[in-house]
Amino acid sequence: MSDNLRQGIKLYQSRKYTDALSFFLSLPPESADNIELAYFIGLCYARLNKYDEALLYLEQVVTNGTDEERIKQCRLSLAVIYSLTNRSKMAEFELSKLTEDGIDSEQVQCAKGYVAWYRNEIDKSIGCYETVLEQNPENPTALNGLGYILACTGKDLTRALFLCKKALDTNPESSAYLDSLGWVYFKLGLLKEAKSFIKRALEKNPENEEIKSHYQEILSSVSDIKDNDIPRRGQF
């Protein structure tokens, strides 16, 4: 791996995705491994929620790459992005290729749970996350994924709160985990706590549409409560 590429990766690992992307795009093609460069450019675009651009680069890695481990990582990323962009059949294809290769890791199971959730296959999604937690009760992706589903569906808000808190403990700076915990609080009717956590999530990931939607819904609920507290004419 070239020194140039390492410098960009350091920016990426520091969550400076815009800076990392600008750096990678500025590199002359001959200055780094083109496949590795495409991989990290794709990841940067994905982190910035620019999914079409991310797909363009990550698909190159799967098509032209020779590093099997890197191709597997790309297939996982592609499955998630395809789900987010309503291309669930393509997401399932990527996951099936991993399964065909004999890979059924915690990451793959979590990705299957994520895809199932976006296909509105709630029981299947819950089953995938439960399977991971049976194997590894500390897996933060499964903790967060299952907690979020339990909150959204109202199946078990007490357990959802426990799971999302536990996930956030593993990575207090994760916008996804902050958002999930905030959403649990919202479902519990604890609007002050909900607003606090989701505001923090939005500050860390201001382009995320789901987080923005959650925040707006909470603000609307807070506003409704304030309006209802204002005495109307004739009230004492």
Tell me how far apart the alpha carbons of residues 151 and 164 are, in angstroms, rounded to a whole number. Answer: 10
pLDDT at 194: 96
pLDDT at 233: 39
Does the pLDDT at position 200 exceed 60? yes
Does the pLDDT at position 205 exceed 50? yes
Does the pLDDT at position 236 exceed 50? no
pLDDT at 118: 85
Does the pLDDT at position 146 exceed 60? yes
Tell me how far apart the alpha carbons of residues 197 and 185 are, in angstroms, rounded to a whole number. Answer: 9
SS (H, E, C) 210-232: HHHHHHHHHHHHHHHHHHHHCCC
Mean pLDDT of the chain: 88
Does the pLDDT at position 204 exceed 80? yes
Q: Determine whether 211 is exposed, middle or buried from the number of CB atoms within 10 Å of its CB (0-12, 13-18, 19+).
A: buried
Per DSSP, 27 falls in state S
- Domain regions of the chain by residue span: 147-225
**CATH assignment of 147-225, given 3.40.140.10, 2.40.420.20, 1.25.40.10, 3.30.470.20?**
1.25.40.10
Span 150-162, average pLDDT: 96
Tell me how far apart the alpha carbons of residues 114 and 18 are, in angstroms, rounded to a whole number. Answer: 26
Distance (Å) of CA 116 to CA 26, 59, 121 = 38, 22, 5
Does the pLDDT at position 229 exceed 60? no
pLDDT at 235: 41
The residue count for the chain: 236
- Out of 2-16, 86-100, 142-156, the most confident range is 142-156
Q: Which distant-in-sequence residues (6+ apart) come within 8 Å of 89 by Cβ?
A: none
Share of the chain above pLDDT 70, in %: 92
pLDDT at 32: 65
Among 45, 103, 48, 51, CA closest to 73: 103
Cβ atoms < 10 Å from Cβ of 206: 11
Whether 20 contacts 11, CB under 8 Å = yes
Tell me how far apart the alpha carbons of residues 52 and 58 are, in angstroms, rounded to a whole number. Answer: 10
Tell me how far apart the alpha carbons of residues 118 and 115 are, in angstroms, rounded to a whole number. Answer: 5
Could you tell me which residue, 98 or 164, shows the higher pLDDT?
Answer: 164
Does the pLDDT at position 61 exceed 50? yes
What's the pLDDT band for 234 if we cut at 50, 70, 90? very low
Cβ atoms < 10 Å from Cβ of 144: 25
Span 166-173, average pLDDT: 96
Does the pLDDT at position 207 exceed 90? no
pLDDT at 128: 95
Tell me how far apart the alpha carbons of residues 177 and 164 are, in angstroms, rounded to a whole number. Answer: 7
Q: What is the pLDDT of residues 69-107, one digit of tens each?
A: 899 889 989 988 998 888 888 988 988 888 877 676 888
Give the 3-state secondary structure of residue 153.
helix
Could you tell me which residue, 184 or 229, shows the higher pLDDT?
Answer: 184
Does the pLDDT at position 31 exceed 80? no
Tell me how far apart the alpha carbons of residues 161 and 150 are, in angstroms, rounded to a whole number. Answer: 9
pLDDT at 1: 54
Span 165-184, average pLDDT: 96
Question: The tokens of 103 are what?
Answer: 């890979």
